[in-house]
Structures are given as structure tokens and as C-alpha cells.
Chain A
């Protein structure tokens, strides 16, 4: 055996190990998925219709001045919010419009502007205060963390085995994509953001993504054509993965926003949503919070997505003799960019805020997905070396 073949043998083993790790991660994700389901199931035992109660209180003492409902009484005029906050200390901070930022420094009374229907409180989360549900929720997060670590090691093994960036074909791109999405979710949890609600939908799609990756998209570890031998592969493609994963979180939040928003609208109109809708949507954050979360993510990712396209253009200038040539992948990256730009503008345009802007996010993310799957599968262009099924 010559040294080259030995090296090739070692690489094969590593690639194999990477496959086993990805399969193991999928198994653990499945367990996490079950735990999330358990969390939601046990959480449904506590039947607190918080939003409905909130609305009832707000309606009964409907504030004439257009101020929003406050937890302690609904119709507090703005001036008294400060007083009650000061008098009642931190407990007034829990709910609606007024909150107090308490540190070892002056207390700051905050007042948010009244939205379309005042500010409803966030739901209690999947476990809804149910002890057992909460336990399962914690187990789910622990399992997700474990699966993420296995997943990450799997991606690294793949990278070492092929001695290049682990995103040279659709299989590798998909595994890296879901790894980043889960990583972002865990990072947000670590930063003490209220994102536990995203766990179940996220893990569901991660399982789908990985399932698709190991079956349809799987490609044996392979080397890349010379056109891809460039450090831009590290920059351009990794940025595309990170942007896609974060856009995905924004997308999930937007979908949930649309459900929660119509739920709130129904309640406000005096309707009674179905019991399943009530049970599930009740525990989600308020439509305002979901909308804000989606906006922040999408707005923060947008400059990076711009840079992804610019980096791609610079690379194209080195590799293909032009920085922009309306190749299908370029065209759809541009369409995705414009769609997100539409969304950001729509948020600032009267008549487009709220649901219409949210539909734009759905369209924009659909464009992103199409740019990834659709363009690779249906069109042939200069990005066609991405390889499906070897």
C-alpha cells in the first residue's frame, strides 16, 4: 500500500464515522422531539386562558385615552403607571405596558406605545407552568444540546475526511445548515432569550432536513472541481448557510405570528377559537413579541445576506470572468435579497405593517429555499457542481 492509499483509507473511515455521527444525532434529535411533544402535551393540562382573561379585563375597563391595558387594572392613565411602578416595585413590571428595569441603579420606567390592540402578554411557554411539562422541556433542551454536539462533530469529521470546507455538495450543505440553525437556537437560549417555543418546530424540520440529506441528497465524500478551490468557499458558502439558518428561525417565528395574530384577532372580535388552537396558541408569545423577534432576526441577517451575495460576486469575478452574470443561482439570490428588502420596507409603510409584511417574509424565505433546492435541481447553471446523489 502506498502512503496515498493509506491516507485515502483513513479518510474513508472518517467519512464513515461522520455518517454514523449524523445518524446518531438524528436519533438523539428524535428523542428530543418526543420530549418536546411531551412538554406540549403536559403543558396542555393547565388550562389558563390568559390572553382571553387579559382581553376581558382590558375590555371591561376600556381605556378611553387609548392607553394600553396594564396588568393592575387595565385603564391606568399613563401618569399613574410610573406611580404604581414605583409604589408596587417590580411586580408591575411583569405584564403589559409598563415595566421597571431594576438593577443597582436608578429604576427606569418604560412605556411602550399602544399597538393595534394594546399589548397582550406573552404566553407561558409550552409547559405552561406544569411541573412535569417543564421537566420534559428541560430534558428536550438537554437532548437537543447533546444532539447538536454529535451533529457538530459529525460535520467536523466530514470536513477533515475531505480536507476542505464541509459544504461542497447538497448533502454537506444540508447537514451544516441544520447544525447552524440548532446552534443559533441554543445560543439564543444561552443568552436568556425567550425562544423555547421555537424548539419543537425547529427540531421537526431539522429531522426532515437531515432525513432528506442522508437519503436523497447523500453524496460520498468527494473532492471538488478546481473552480471551487478558493478561500471564498469558506466565506461565501458558510455565510449563506448561517444566513439561511437564521432566516429560517425568522420564518418559523413569522408563521407562528400569523397563527397567533389571527387567534388574537378572533378573541378580540369576541369569537371563540377552537380548543386546540387555544391550547397551543395560548402558550406562545404574543403576536407583537413574535413579530418583533422575526423582524430583529431578519433585519440583523439582511446585511450578512448582502455580504454573502457580494462575496459570491467577488468570487465569480475571479472564477468566471464576470462578477454578475444572471446565472440562475445569482438571479434567485438577488430575488431573495429584494424580497427581504421588500419586507424591511413594508414594515415602515402604512397599510403593509403586520400580516402583509409577514406574508412577505414567507415569500422571501420560500425564495431562499427555492434558490437552494429548486435552482440546484431544476436549472443548470454555473453553480451546478453541487451534486445530488453522486
Chain B
């Protein structure tokens, strides 16, 4: 889980090992060096694949250790990305179920195999779920111990200064006339002032900073779990329904009102928020000129809505990118089209049907197709019958000379309705649900003209179509617009967003903050002056650490140099050149040798 454990420095460990073998002092040194570099992160140590010889418990423990190891987590991550690919190549039921049906029709052999492998539902399939569940178990198995470890680190003090500071990745030293105690006091103040956690012990000050890196790392991974849970909750309790509403009509949010409705497995119809709205006016405009003539410009649905039972009526608007939000529900405007208004008079002169019928657009210019079903019809002889009309509506007819019936523009400029008529059994009484936009002509007969050709007519608004043998008329009265609305009910969105933002914050912390330790040691040198040593150690090698150490050293140096200058003129600040003490890095080894660590040189070649 550790995102950035790269470039882990081994310098200090080398230092410890290099000095081994010089007796108990060296053992102590090794121990200190190990301590100094320990726990700079909570990243797990790299384990070998030791197969245990123990029984079941041993095996289980071994499996758990493997699952929570970095290597397996990495493989699971790789698997996850590979497993996501088929979902983008093969049509998915959750994304476009019509394409899946089409695939079924076109591939007799492949489709059943894909079905078996759940390739039409990749993201809810057993194998995809297995990968991400294992990944998140692995993640949890990693986060929990690391969190405890991190809490332990926060409660403990920074590790003591290693004996050989000059073995650290960044090191500086100088001499001063200020007393060792003064220097350490100043160092303690300086480092605490810069929000290091400071520990003073013996002749050294140990300090550590950048805990937010590990905190960020843990936050990021915990946030991923929050995100996953929020997503899962959202999927289980979601609902998603579509409703086509003709201008002037209304909708109230109950299950029966929807044209189609999908929901998660734990959704309950009682979860639907109580609200409703009427579509007052649907605005849809398209570009009239230029390179992108005919492309949509603006869509807007002006609505009157109410919340709760008998709530106050309010005006509102729904546009793309601006859904109406009521409770956990959001209402989106997804499409629009034309609904010709027709009236059908039957053979007895009675109005058998009157109203708008939504036609569905088939192309970008809103050439729309649709059917009109009339169930309560009597023919000229007064016998019961049913009528079905099938045809096209075009908002802008190109004229007889255009040679095409397709619409020339999505804007309504010259509307025409083309219909052909059937009579017989609409097939509505067989119990099976029927598509309102399709006409089943199996048990129907097409009306014929006197010359035996099928009856078909093109109408302007206000014109009518006469059925043969005094069978009545259909009148094209006008056109209304309709809007396609999608009502989604989503829970857990806030948690998902919070998780995502926390993940980013954690990521930034874990990638941009460096955990580092700084030690300051001040001891009396053999010439009676104080030798100050400073060293820095970061979790990863970075150019920033030496810079920071330089800054700190400068601050510390100038802090006590002022005092020291009064005491002894020969000790300059580092700005003076040529002086033996001007450059604090001068001769660190001999300085150290003359001071606290005479024994530590033995290990080198």
C-alpha cells in the first residue's frame, strides 16, 4: 500500500554494518544506527516466500501474510486493470442493454459463452468482484497494522542520535565557542520552532518531522475503502427511471408513473422521494447556420414542481448539467422530440381518440417515427374494431422536389405527418406488455384505397386523412413538444465525493511530504571549543534534505555565533573566509575524533 517507498536509503544501515566487529562499542553503535533508521515509515519488510511446515493454522497465517504482502497487492492491482478491459470492448448490460441484445442476435456461438463468463456484466461479475474484494481485503490487512504502528510511532519519541552522524546521508559540522549546552538549547528551540518533534538526550538532540506523509498514505488507502463502500451502497440502493413527458403533462414520483425503471437489489419503492412536476414548456434550439448547422444549441425544460405531498408549487428549470435535485433524487433532461396531436373520429362520427402522441426521433434532424393506437373504435357499420396508424413525423419537410421524406432541420418550420392505417386486433389483450412505439400488425389489415394500393397520406397541421368506406377520419391538429426525463435516486454520493477528495488529499500528503530526521550533537572538543555536528536522514533520497539541513545549520550557527563572537573573536560566522572555523564542514572527522567518538573510526578500511 505504500505508494512511494522508493529510493529507500540504505546509507545508515551500511554505516552500522561497516563498523561492526570492534567490540561492544560497535554493537552499541550498530544498534543505535538501526534505531536511527528504523520506523521511518510503516512499510512492511520484504519477506521471502517461506512455505511453512505447520498445520492448517500455519497455512492460513501464511496465506494471510501473502495476501497482505506488497507483491500480491501489486499483482492484484495489475489483475484489476486487466480485468477492467473486457468491459470496455464488449457491450455491457448496465451501459447499453440494446447493444447486448444486438450482440446476442449477431453471435450465436459467442453470446452464450460470454453469458457464462459474465462478460456482459463485467463489473458485477464474480471474477471482477473477486479481484477487487481480495485487493481491498489485502488493503485492510495492510492498513490496520500500519495504523497501529503509526500510532505507536506518534506516541514514542524520535530515535536517539546514532553515534556516527557523519555516516548519515546529509551531514555538517562546525566549531563554536558557545557551550555545548547552549548549542543544544538553541537547537532544541530551533527545531521545535520548525515543528519538528524533538527529543534531547545526553549530548544530542534528536528530532523528526513529516509524519503527515504516513498519515496521508494511510488516509489515502482508508479513503479508497470509504469510496468503494459508498459506491457499493449507491449501487445497492439506487434507482433509475425514465419518463417521457409531453408539454403540459405532469409526473409524480411513484413507481407506476415510470416508462422504465431499474433499481438496485436493496431498493424499496418506499425510498422514492415524494415530489412531482409538470412540464410547462420545453425549449430546444438548434444552430441555423454555419459549420455546425443543425447541432443542438440549448435545451431547457421549464417546470412547475412540488416537494412532498401537497407541497408548495415552485417554478424551476432543468437543463443539461443542471438537474433538478429533490432529496436524494435528481431529475435530468435527456432528450426531446415532437408529439403530433391527432383526433380520430370513428364511423359513427364519435371521437374515438384525441391527444398528442410522442414520436421518437430517428436522426439528428428529428425525423421521428411513431404509432397511434385507437382501441375504442366502431366502423361505419357500428362494429367494434381497433385502429393502428404507423408513420413518420418530420419537423421540416424539404418539399416534394427534395426527393426525400427525411427532415431537413430539427427546428419545426414545415411540419408533415405521414401515416398509413391498419384495422384489426392491436394485440393489447393478451397480457404481454407491448411497446407503445411499435405496431404489431400480425392480426391487422392495412386499409386499401379504391385502386387497391395501401392507404397512406401526408398531412400538414389541420389536414385530415379519410378512412375508406366511411370509416371515419384522422385529423392532424397540431404539434406539441416532449421531453425525456431521467429520475435517479442515489445514496452515498456525499460519502463517495468525500472519500475521493480525502484520497486526493492523502495522496498529496504521501507524495509531497518527506519524513525526515535531524540530529544535532554538541560536545566539547579537545581544544576546549564546542564541536557541533548536524545530520539529516530522509526516508527517500531527496535534494531537499541537504538544503533543509543547510538552512537549519545556518539558523543554528548564526543563533549561537552571535553570542560566541563576543566571547571569542577568533570564531567567526561562516561568512568569513580562510579562517579555520569559517567553514563548518571543515574536517568533520578529526573534529569528531577529537570529541565524542574516538572509537568509531576503526571499522573503515
List chain A positions with a Cβ less than 8 A from chain B.
5, 8, 64-67, 75, 77-80, 82-83, 85-87, 100-101, 103-114, 220-223, 225-227, 229-230, 232, 292, 295, 299-300, 302-303, 306-307, 310, 313-315, 317-328, 331-332, 334-335, 338-339, 341-342, 344-353, 367, 375, 379, 381, 390
Contacts and interface: CB of A to CB of B under 8 A. Distances in A.
Interface stretch (B270-278, B316-324, B378-386, B396-404): B316-324
B3 A306 contact: no
B500 to A, nearest CB: 4
A220 B292 CA distance: 9
Given A82-B588, A114-B14, A375-B88, A108 B295 contact: no
A222 to B, nearest CB: 4
B297 A226 contact: yes
A347 B74 CA distance: 10
A106 B493 contact: no
Contacts of B10: 113-114
Contact of A338 (B77, B167, B583): B77
A106 B297 contact: no
Contact of B81 (A5, A227, A339): A339
Contacts of A313: 500
B508 interface: yes
A109 B585 CA distance: 8
A101 B550 contact: yes
A5 to B, nearest CB: 8
B557 A106 contact: yes
Contacts of B408: none
Contacts of B167: 78-79, 111
Contacts of B366: none
Interface in B279-305: 287, 289-292, 295-299
Contacts of A390: 291
A114 to B, nearest CB: 7
Contacts of B511: 299-300, 302-303
B71 A349 contact: yes
Contact of A106 (B2, B321, B330, B550): B550
Interface of B: 1-11, 14-15, 18, 43, 46, 70-71, 73-74, 77-78, 80-81, 84-85, 87-89, 92, 94-95, 122-123, 166-172, 174, 231, 240, 287, 289-292, 295-299, 319-323, 330, 332, 334, 486, 488, 490, 493, 496-497, 500-501, 503-504, 507-508, 511-512, 534, 541, 545-547, 549-551, 553-554, 557, 574-575, 583-589, 601, 604-605
A323 B499 CA distance: 13
17 contacts: A82-B588, A85-B585, A86-B587, A107-B583, A109-B170, A113-B10, A222-B292, A226-B320, A302-B3, A314-B497, A321-B323, A331-B85, A335-B85, A338-B80, A341-B3, A353-B6, A379-B88
Contacts of A220: 291-292
Contact of A324 (B15, B231, B292, B334): B231
Nearest to B292: A222
B588 A109 contact: yes
Nearest to B556: A106
Given A225-B296, A342-B74, A230 B88 contact: no
Given A110-B170, A223-B295, A353-B6, A322 B95 contact: no
A333 to B, nearest CB: 10
A116 to B, nearest CB: 12
A19 B84 CA distance: 39
Contact of A321 (B240, B541, B587): B240
Contacts of B46: 349-350
B287 to A, nearest CB: 7
Contact of B11 (A112, A222, A314): A112
Contact of B88 (A75, A328, A338, A347): A328
A86 to B, nearest CB: 5
B413 to A, nearest CB: 18
A319 B490 CA distance: 14
Contacts of B490: 322
A338 B81 contact: yes
B6 A326 contact: no
B361 to A, nearest CB: 15
Contacts of A350: 46, 71
Given A5-B289, A110-B170, A111-B169, 6 more contacts: A105-B550, A106-B557, A107-B550, A227-B321, A347-B5, A352-B71
A349 B296 contact: no
A322 B231 CA distance: 11
Given A292-B7, A325-B94, A108 B541 contact: no
B2 A348 contact: yes
B546 A110 contact: yes
A109 B166 contact: yes
- Of all A-B residue pairs in the complex, the 3 with the closest CB atoms, nearest first, are A348-B5, A107-B585, A105-B554
A8 B289 CA distance: 10
B493 A317 contact: yes
A307 B504 contact: yes
A351 to B, nearest CB: 7
A83 to B, nearest CB: 5
B3 A348 contact: yes
Contact of B589 (A79, A113, A232, A344): A79
Contact of B78 (A300, A320, A342): A342
A237 to B, nearest CB: 14
B94 A113 contact: no
Contact of A77 (B1, B84, B547, B605): B605
B285 to A, nearest CB: 10
Contacts of A227: 320-321
A221 B507 contact: no
A338 B77 CA distance: 7
Looking at B81, B507, B547, the one whose CB has the most chain A CB atoms below 10 A away is: B81
Contact of A113 (B11, B70, B123): B11
A318 B322 contact: yes
B178 to A, nearest CB: 15
